[in-house]
């Protein structure tokens, strides 16, 4: 069971890592800001026989990735269980995953994210990925879900973050109170319309803006504007 650190924002050099088609994306930032962020996409090739060897080659290929980072965040863009962080510990995490229908496979383990405004996420991550990241970065490593980044923004409205296969939704009412946080499988605009309609009706927040982010978002915007008012496209 992988348990990670806290979400303190007193870090200086930060590295963010996430899966992209065919490899990994690395982003380096200073003082937690994106103003001087540098990003690199590195593809996995046939000679990378293990995930660990791929990471070693990727990091070795760019001197910017060899710095002594204060914090390393691995973003997990897969289905997750969203749980109050004060209820989560290593002993109960797997039970919550099973109840959410997300029980890890034999080759995976349950990973606990850090906390964001009292919310933690549980997700299944491949054992090889967990071992490679933990061995390289130790206690500097934290795991996070895009839904936590949406929660952190404290924007009144419906935050909708898209990945190639998922939609992460966060709803804050007109006074900024968190009223919903959910994730859904989403691979096309029809899925997006369905789940956005569902969560807005359940939260009774039909008048709030819908704020889109993630690389598929711009492609969905035209279709979504047929069904919803006040669609805003931004970067997460």
**What are the chain's domains?**
2-75 (3.30.420.250), 153-229 (3.30.420.40)
Asked if residue 6 has pLDDT above 80, the reply is: no
Mean pLDDT for 15-24 is 92
> What pLDDT is attached to residue 3?
45
Strand partners, 158: 171, 210
> What pLDDT is attached to residue 36?
60
Residues 210 and 176: beta-carbon distance below 8 Å: no
Mean pLDDT for 136-163 is 92
**What share of residues in the chain are helix, strand, coil (percent, to 5)?**
30, 35, 35
Of 144, 142, 200, the C-alpha closest to 169 is 200
Lowest mean pLDDT among 50-59, 103-112, 151-160: 151-160
Residues 136 and 60: beta-carbon distance below 8 Å: no
| Side-chain-facing half-sphere of 17: CA atoms under 13 Å | 23
| Side-chain-facing half-sphere of 183: CA atoms under 13 Å | 26
Mean pLDDT for 176-190 is 91
Of 18, 24, 63, 23, the C-alpha closest to 46 is 23
Asked if residue 172 has pLDDT above 80, the reply is: yes
Of 200, 184, 185, 193, the C-alpha closest to 223 is 193
> What pLDDT is attached to residue 10?
53
Asked if residue 127 has pLDDT above 70, the reply is: yes
Position 8 confidence tier, pLDDT thresholds 50, 70, 90: very low
Compute the Cα dihedral for 173, 178, 179, 182 and give only its sign.
positive
3-state secondary structure of 104: coil
Mean pLDDT for 32-56 is 85
Region of 31 please: left (phi>0), alpha (psi -120 to 50) or beta.
left
Mean pLDDT for 85-111 is 90
Q: What is the pTM of this model?
A: 0.84
Residues 199 and 208: beta-carbon distance below 8 Å: no
Question: Given the structure tokens 């997006």, which residue do they identify?
Answer: 192
Could you give the CA distance from residue 96 to residue 118 in angstroms, rounded to a whole number?
Answer: 16
> What pLDDT is attached to residue 5?
47
Position 154 confidence tier, pLDDT thresholds 50, 70, 90: confident
Asked if residue 26 has pLDDT above 70, the reply is: yes
Cβ atoms within 10 Å of 226's Cβ, excluding its own = 9
**Average pLDDT taken over every residue of the chain:** 88
> What pLDDT is attached to residue 203?
67
């Amino acid at each position: 069971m992988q348990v990670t650190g806290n979400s303190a924002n007193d870090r200086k050099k930060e590295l963010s890592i996430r899966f992209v088609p065919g490899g990994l994306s690395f982003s380096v930032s200073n003082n937690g800001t994106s103003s001087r962020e540098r990003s690199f996409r590195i593809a996995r090739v046939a000679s990378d026989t293990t995930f660990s060897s791929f990471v070693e080659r990727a990091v070795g290929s760019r001197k910017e990735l060899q710095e002594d980072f204060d914090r390393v965040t691995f973003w997990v863009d897969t289905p997750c269980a969203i749980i109050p962080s004060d209820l989560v510990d290593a002993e109960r995490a797997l039970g919550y995953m099973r109840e959410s229908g997300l029980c890890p496979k034999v080759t995976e383990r349950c990973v606990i994210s850090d906390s964001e405004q009292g919310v933690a996420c549980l997700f299944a991550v491949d054992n090889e990925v967990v071992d490679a990241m933990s061995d390289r970065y130790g206690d500097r490593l934290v795991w996070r879900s895009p839904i936590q980044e949406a929660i952190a923004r404290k924007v009144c409205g419906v935050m909708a973050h898209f990945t190639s296969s998922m939609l992460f939704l966060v709803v804050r009412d007109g006074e900024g109170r968190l009223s919903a946080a959910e994730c859904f499988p989403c691979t096309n605009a029809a899925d997006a319309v369905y789940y956005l309609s569902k969560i807005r009706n359940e939260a009774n927040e039909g008048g709030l803006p819908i704020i889109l982010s993630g690389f598929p978002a711009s492609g969905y915007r035209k279709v979504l504007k047929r069904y919803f008012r006040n669609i805003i496209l931004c970067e997460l």
